[in-house]
Structure 1
């Protein structure tokens, strides 16, 4: 009986989460396109240098983007990361998740 309730709640939460992601993505794309005001004037070769952040020696600085992800296949983790700091953080998270799985489902 309790297993059926848990399975139903899991399926329902996945379904609701999928709908929320779909709604959030569509709302974000509608708001983003109206706020940014894409026009052909934006892509002209005029002097847009005031909008570009300059680093040392006038080289345009790009923001550093870091990210990582973990895929748990049962108790085994697959860790993906763009830099070592993010990967190390996920290694610690994977160890915690493996220990939780071991103690909860043994």
Structure 2
């Protein structure tokens, strides 16, 4: 794996600024299940990796009268366990459950 700059923004605005600044040279890291493997195998070599896991808005599942919003950094295991998703969107819950092992679902987003 080639060296890279690691960014850990605290807000969506900060993440967007970093991504805009570095363009195609930046990749988003959420769970890392795909990105890290591709980097280790040398398939991709981003100069900048932007970890979005610390952005609270992206780590939440929100339900309201209009629907359910799943943040980009929510692990699949949280989707599987979420009561409202299981009740109102059972196929989403089943699809999340069908991905990989428990360990993968705990990381994958």
Settle same-fold status: TM greater than 0.5.
no
TM-score, normalised on structure 2? 0.26
Query: Which structure features the higher share of helix residues?
Result: 1
Question: Which structure has greater strand proportion?
Answer: 2
TM-score by length of 1: 0.27
The higher-RCO structure (CA 8 Å, 6+ apart) is: 2
